[in-house]
Amino acid sequence: MEDTVKRSICTVALLLALPLSLIAQEDQFFDSDGVRIRYVEAGSGQPVLLAHGFTGSLDSAWMATGVFKNLAEDYHVIAFDHRGHGKSGRPREAADYGTKMSLDMIRLLDHLGIEKAHFIGYSMGARTVFKLMVTFPERVLTTTLGATPPRRGPRNEAATQ
């Protein structure tokens, strides 16, 4: 019994000594035009919004990799599950995706009272961040686009020259 008490006291002391960014973040949700979107946030400083890739989630892309924890040491970091991914809502119509995924990021910033942010997108998340960047440049401090998928659709020869 005494060993159990000692271990409990040591565990509590260790948890109290850890920075907030190392402790599991509580899921939060907001409504984005009728779709429930999950997000987590931690840290302080300039806001950084993280957008994960296709079939991913904030857990697999940002938490498990340590990116969220490391950024939260210097920034107000926000990660979210895109609609149709992770613990966010899953609309059934194709029209509920695409551009609406970039709008979810703007609505999340609005929900949190954030005017401008740094954006980091990976794969599909990079595409949504790119769409946000060209549609709402006034909301963007910087963007980082990783593993950006190739452009789909008809090729515009004039755009490549």
- CA neighbours within 13 Å on the CB side: how many for 92? 0
| Out of 6-10, 26-30, 44-48, 90-94, least confident range | 6-10
Residue 10 domain flag: no
The pTM of the full predicted model, rounded to 2 decimals, is 0.80
Structural domain for 128, as ranges = 24-151
Task: Give the mean model confidence (pLDDT) for residues 101-130.
Answer: 97
Average model confidence (pLDDT) for the chain? Answer: 87
Query: Can you tell me the distance from the alpha carbon of 140 to that of 161, in angstroms, rounded to the nearest whole number?
Result: 27
Taking the CA atoms of residue 49, residue 62, residue 79 and residue 138 in that order, the dihedral angle to the nearest 10 degrees is 10
Task: Place 20 in a pLDDT band, splitting at 50, 70 and 90.
Answer: very low
**pLDDT per position as a tens digit, 62-108:** 999 999 999 999 999 999 999 999 999 999 999 999 999 999 999 99
Query: What's the domain count of the chain?
Result: 1
Residue 7 domain flag: no
CATH number for the domain spanning 130: value is: 3.40.50.1820
- CA neighbours within 13 Å on the CB side: how many for 38? 15
What per-residue confidence (pLDDT) applies to 150? 74
Is the CB of residue 54 less than 8 Å from the CB of residue 45? no
Residue 18 domain flag: no
Query: What angle do the packed helices 124-135 and 99-112 form, to 10 degrees?
Result: 70
Is the CB of residue 119 less than 8 Å from the CB of residue 51? yes
Residue 3 domain flag: no
Is the CB of residue 39 less than 8 Å from the CB of residue 30? yes
Residue 86 domain flag: yes
| Phi/psi at 49 (5° precision) | -105, 130
